[in-house]
């Protein structure tokens, strides 16, 4: 760090003879210098070189001139280390003012105030200049060696201060660097944690679906049989009861032909006891309700089967998505008729590679959900399609009741439903999720309570080989 060495001194004094004196003390001619060197070498040995270094002395005869020199020196990147400043200079700035200006430009500058007498008390001066640690006082008349030693010591001090500040800024730089590295590392860690969390929840979701799929397949198979015969038995029962009723009517007529009033009374009492009229009314109702019930069970089982895709032996095909949407709309037209207007915002789409009936099922689920989300007032369902690069999108937006933020997590869970028994099985969205994932696509939802929900499905135009 020897390049930090700075031997430059500025003397500001309005008396020319003072400059002469300083020059003699600080920059002896080379002859004097050699003499001095020799003397010192004999006295202290040849090691003691540093005190012999020449000073570089500049002169200014007033505060303003001194400031000018200081500014120029800074601009030339060779600042002064030390300034001797006369306290009393009648023209222009006095010493205190001069020092204030010098320090404004160069706070590093070491300063020696030279004075025989002063317009300030020392306390006032120190108070005014604040920087006690960069200020020494030299009283006139001064001693040569005193001036030399002061110059030497203060130049070394300047050097050490400079070195410390360079090291400090180096350290600060290192700390900044380390802090930035830490920040980067912690951000990377956070990203990894987030990714992991997301993967985990995807895993949970697909595991749920997989195990439910198996369960559903088994249950559907087991239940399908009894549903079949209960349903056909109910049909038969309905027919049989109609025949029984005919028979009862016939018996009723035949009662008139019975001679024994005792028998007629008994029949009458029996009829009252079993509430025959009520039975005749109620039995068909019970059968009708049972039929509806078993139909509902049948539908649930069908949903379950779709869900587990036990009988999905469909083929991947290149299909026009818009056609699929239109035909799905036709199927649910009845459901929609009284609840919502349908707005279509279709873009021209390329054919996509998919399992068409499954994709139609997704669209159907979304449209049915949208219509079921409508309140008592008629709403709007907007169907949008779009193409971005190699991905098509379908959006189903409704003006329905919306979904609470807390529930957004749950709606894709199997059997999660907020609908009354009979209306919802809670399988529609989880089924749709499975189908979309199988197509290497994405399904997402935005919703605001009381405003409506928008479900968005994104599907790749082409399936990568691994999936098909
Ligand atoms: N468009 C929608 N608007 C409001 N809520 C919805 C919408 N779609 C789905 N949901 C909520 O998600 C739940 C699950 O939907 P889904 O899986 O289709 O089952 P289900 O319709 O049989 O209840 C619904 O019960 C409902 O609470
Ligand atoms: Mg549904």
Which domain CATH number covers 20?
A: 3.40.50.2300
**pLDDT at residue 209, as a whole number:** 61
Same domain, 429 and 321: yes
Domain boundary among 260, 277, 308: 308
Same domain, 299 and 326: no
Domain boundary among 262, 290, 308: 308
Helices and strands (DSSP H and E) totals, the chain: 11, 12
399 within ligand 1 shell (Cβ under 6 A) = no
CATH classification at residue 374: 3.30.565.10
For residue 92, being part of any structural domain is answered with: yes
Same domain, 255 and 208: yes
Mean pLDDT over residues 161-166, rounded? 92
What residues contact 18, with CB distance under 8 A and at least 6 apart?
11, 86, 114
400 within ligand 1 shell (Cβ under 6 A) = yes
What residues contact 214, with CB distance under 8 A and at least 6 apart?
308
For residue 182, being part of any structural domain is answered with: no
> Dihedral sign, CA of 187, 193, 196, 198?
negative
Which stretch of 46-55, 96-105, 230-239, 241-250 has the lowest confidence by average pLDDT?
46-55
Same domain, 334 and 224: no
Strands (E), 336-434: 340-345, 352-354, 379-388, 391-398
Helices (H), 338-451: 356-372, 428-438
**pLDDT at residue 237, as a whole number:** 95
For residue 466, being part of any structural domain is answered with: no
Q: How confident is the model at residue 311 (pLDDT cuts 50, 70, 90)?
A: very low
The residues pairing with 395 across neighbouring beta strands, listed in sequence order, are 384, 456
418 within ligand 1 shell (Cβ under 6 A) = yes
Domain that holds residue 365: 317-460
> Dihedral sign, CA of 291, 294, 299, 302?
negative
**pLDDT at residue 53, as a whole number:** 59
**What is the rounded CA–CA span in Å between residue 379 and residue 45?**
105
Same domain, 295 and 404: no
148 within ligand 1 shell (Cβ under 6 A) = no
Same domain, 375 and 454: yes
- Percent of the chain at pLDDT exceeding 90: 59
**pLDDT at residue 415, as a whole number:** 83
For residue 169, being part of any structural domain is answered with: no
For residue 158, being part of any structural domain is answered with: no
For residue 97, being part of any structural domain is answered with: yes
**pLDDT at residue 1, as a whole number:** 41
Same domain, 337 and 300: no
**What is the rounded CA–CA span in Å between residue 431 and residue 458?**
16
**What is the rounded CA–CA span in Å between residue 436 and residue 456?**
11
Domain boundary among 308, 334, 367: 308
The count of domains in the chain is: 3
As given in the structure block, the two tokens for residue 435 are 């189908």
Residue to mutate (ligand 1; options 205, 335, 365, 369; most atoms within 8 A of CB)? 369
Compare 392 and 39 and report the one with higher pLDDT: 392
Same domain, 354 and 259: no
Same domain, 295 and 385: no
Q: How confident is the model at residue 197 (pLDDT cuts 50, 70, 90)?
A: confident
């Amino acid at each position: 760090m020897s390049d930090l060495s700075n031997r430059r001194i500025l003397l500001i004094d309005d008396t020319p003879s003072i400059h002469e004196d300083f020059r003699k003390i600080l920059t002896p001619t080379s002859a004097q210098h050699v003499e001095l060197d020799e003397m010192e070498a004999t006295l202290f040995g040849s090691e003691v070189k540093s005190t012999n270094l020449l000073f570089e002395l500049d002169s200014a005869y007033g505060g303003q001139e001194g400031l000018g020199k200081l500014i120029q020196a800074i601009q030339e990147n060779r600042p002064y280390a030390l300034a001797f400043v006369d306290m009393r200079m009648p023209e222009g700035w006095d010493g205190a003012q001069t020092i204030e200006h010098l320090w404004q430009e160069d706070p590093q500058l070491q300063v020696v105030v030279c004075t025989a007498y002063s317009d300030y008390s020392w306390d006032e001066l120190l108070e005014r200049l604040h920087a006690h640690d960069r200020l020494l006082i030299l009283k006139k008349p001064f001693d040569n060696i005193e001036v030399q030693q002061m110059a030497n010591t203060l130049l070394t001090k300047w050097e050490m201060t400079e070195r410390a500040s360079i090291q400090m800024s180096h350290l600060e730089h290192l700390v900044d660097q380390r802090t930035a590295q830490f920040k980067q590392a912690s951000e990377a860690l956070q990203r990894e944690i987030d990714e992991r969390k997301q993967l985990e929840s995807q895993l949970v979701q697909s595991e749920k679906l997989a195990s439910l799929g198996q369960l559903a397949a088994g249950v559907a198979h087991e239940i399908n049989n009894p549903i079949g015969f209960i349903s056909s038995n109910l049909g038969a029962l309905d027919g049989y009861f109609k025949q029984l009723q005919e028979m009862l009517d016939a018996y009723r007529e035949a009662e008139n032909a019975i001679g024994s009033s005792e028998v007629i009374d008994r029949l009458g009492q029996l009829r009252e006891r079993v509430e025959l009229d009520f039975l005749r009314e109620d039995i068909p109702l019970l059968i009708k309700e049972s039929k509806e019930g078993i139909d509902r069970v049948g539908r649930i089982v069908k949903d379950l089967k779709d869900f587990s895709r036990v009988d999905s032996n469909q083929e991947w095909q290149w299909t026009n998505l818009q056609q699929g949407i239109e035909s799905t709309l036709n199927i649910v037209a009845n459901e929609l008729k009284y609840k919502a207007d349908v707005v279509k915002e279709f873009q021209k789409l390329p054919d996509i590679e998919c399992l068409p009936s499954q994709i139609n099922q997704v669209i159907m689920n979304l449209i049915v959900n949208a219509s079921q989300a409508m309140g008592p007032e008629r709403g709007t369902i907007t169907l949008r399609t779009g193409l971005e690069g190699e991905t098509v999108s379908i959006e189903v937006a409704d003006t329905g009741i919306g979904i609470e933020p807390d529930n957004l997590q749950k709606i894709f869970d199997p059997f999660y439903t907020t609908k009354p028994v009979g209306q919802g099985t809670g399988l529609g969205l989880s089924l749709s999720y499975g189908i979309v994932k199988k197509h290497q696509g994405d399904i997402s939802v935005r919703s605001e309570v009381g405003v409506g929900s928008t479900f968005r499905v994104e599907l790749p135009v082409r399936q990568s080989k691994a999936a098909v």
